[in-house]
Amino acid sequence: MASWVGGRPGGTPSQLESVVRAIRHTPIIDNHAHPLLKPEALSQHPLLSITTEASGDAIDAALTSLAHLRAIKQLAALLKCDLTWEAVVNAIELKRIESPEDWTSQCLDGIETILVDDGLDNEDDVYEYSWHDDYTRSGCKRIVRIEAIAARIINRHLLAKDPAQEPQDVFRLVLREFDSYVKEAIAFRDVVAFKSVICYRTGLNISRAVDITTAQESFYSLVDSFEAPGPFKRLQHAGLNDLFVHRTAMLISESESRWKKPIQFHTGLGDNDITLTKASPSHLQEFIREYPTVPIVLLHASYPFTREAGYLASVYANVYADIGEVFPMVSRDGQESVVRQILELCPWSKVLWSTDGHWYPETYLLAVTQIRETLETVGSKAMIGAYLP
């Protein structure tokens, strides 16, 4: 696995034991995660969300999910409290009061560095990506969210628009500023990737070529309907979402760097804001073909479309399969199935891992603990089957 063990695993029991030791102890490169909440914002989000994407009335049912029950067991063992959710919550709250830095450090133990997507809507509630450096062995890096940057630029131009200014002129200004931002991000060392949530907005069925007419019409409609003081936050417009993803890929492909920065795509597993039928990575096939030099990372194991992610990563040199978020959102049996499905076709060297840690340090802790358990179980069996007589 690319994030874990270099080289080809051997076939003897002693070599397999070495692989198991590496799985248990190698510091992890967290390929994709989100910032932690500031103390004053902790109460604004339910701790129950650490094992579910459900929200609103649906989140209460998570109390009976296998993922949640497993999390109780693992957290209770670490916190030395009773095996109930109430006891776990109380113990965590006590940690927040008595030793928040020590608890965060314990939760993030074993992580080499975190690649942080800081493009969340509640940016004022979370820490900057560099704040997390105190809890990792190496400095953390930034992932630029394409839609968040585009929305910020659009909002600024809509607020500053002169009534006499033509919409097509505003459109050109927006694109020029967006291109400039992306070029600067490509050159900035702390930016290691771009990320698109087009899966949440218009779906992964991105057109192979930009439909500039549709994009312009969507933008003009946006200008006509915009009401100050705004703000405009959500880019969800036919053609326009495709346009910004295409421009990012084009600028990456044109960059002079030998090592191109990847675009990470949210695929599969998400909350009820996603249209599930448009969340399969198979929809990205034409886009992948269009930019063969741009690394494409399919996030979140594309669950439940895991085999599709493994297939794409196996047949396209520029595609990689990330198996994050299913830890800890999916049951142990489901996690093992995910890893087995990825490895049916996908080479170890094309597999990445992430916590998708967000808001609470416990999300990192559970993800790290569970990926090690799963890799030890499934990875060892896979190697035994592949290398031992």
Residues 149, 119: contact at Cβ < 8 Å? yes
Widest Cα–Cα separation across the chain: 77
**Contact present, 288 and 333 (Cβ < 8 Å):** no
In the chain, the amino acid numbered 66 is: L
Q: In this structure, what token pair is assigned to residue 206? A: 């991105």
Q: What are 52's two structure tokens?
A: 């579910």
In 255-305, which ranges are continuous DSSP H helix?
285-290
Distance CA 267, CA 320 (A): 12
Query: What type of residue sits at position 255?
Result: S
Written as tens digits, the pLDDT of the chain (389 aa) is 444 333 344 456 677 787 788 888 899 999 999 999 999 999 888 999 999 999 999 999 999 999 999 999 999 999 999 999 999 999 999 999 999 999 999 999 999 999 999 887 778 899 999 999 999 999 999 999 999 999 999 999 998 888 888 999 999 999 999 999 999 999 999 999 999 999 999 999 999 999 999 999 999 999 888 887 778 889 999 899 999 999 999 999 999 988 999 999 999 999 999 999 999 999 999 999 999 999 999 999 999 999 999 999 999 999 999 999 999 999 999 999 999 999 999 999 999 999 999 999 999 999 999 999 999 888 666 655 555 55
State whether residue 274 is helix, strand or coil: coil
* CB distance 246 to 172 below 8 Å: no
| Assigned token pair, 84 | 């109930």
Which of 142, 124, 156 has its CA nearest to residue 192?
142
- Superfamily of domain 13-37+62-387 in CATH is Metal-dependent hydrolases (3.20.20.140)
In 132-201, where does DSSP find H-type helix? Answer: 146-160, 167-187, 198-201
Could you tell me the residue ranges of all domains in the chain?
13-37+62-387
